[in-house]
Amino acid sequence: MIEALQFIRKAIIDRLTDAITVNGSYVPVYNRVPSDALEPYIRVFSVGHDEVDQNQTSFTSECVTRIEVVTSFDGDDGGELQANQIISEILNLIRTRSGGYFDLSGDNFNVYTCVNEGISYEESDEDDKTYFIGNMEISNRVQKI
């Protein structure tokens, strides 16, 4: 059995790239954030991969991926709303039912669930900016085909 998280992560990045805008500009999507990145941006990374079912003919796994939205504002010039709006747009693209699950058949996997495992927000006041960060965890059940 091979690990499926790499394929889920790529599918999420592909679905979000050039799909979300703020003030007329696309929000960049990264797996690894470059040092010169400007906010807002989206970061997608793997959290965990657990085998959830064992039988004689297939392997089934639960893959958890985190999607992090980072926004920032000078002083008191903005707020959490922008992070909320970006998270909402991501949910509209990612959290689907069977008609919109990731197609990983080319990688020999079948995705058959997509669950929002929770969204949390944090605020960080730094010397230069105030950062608002939204964290969403998405769980996908995946069967090796």
Collapsed DSSP state (helix, strand, coil) of residue 83: helix
pLDDT tens by residue, 128-143: 899 999 999 999 999 9
Going from the N-terminus, what domains does the chain have, and what CATH number goes with each? 5-144 (3.30.2000.30)
What are the tokens at 20?
Answer: 């979300």
What is residue 96's predicted lDDT score, i.e. its pLDDT?
Answer: 82
Burial class (CB in 10 A: 0-12, 13-18, 19+), 94: buried
Instruction: State pTM to two decimals.
Output: 0.92
pLDDT tens by residue, 66-78: 999 999 998 777 7
H or E stretch covering 90: helix 81-94
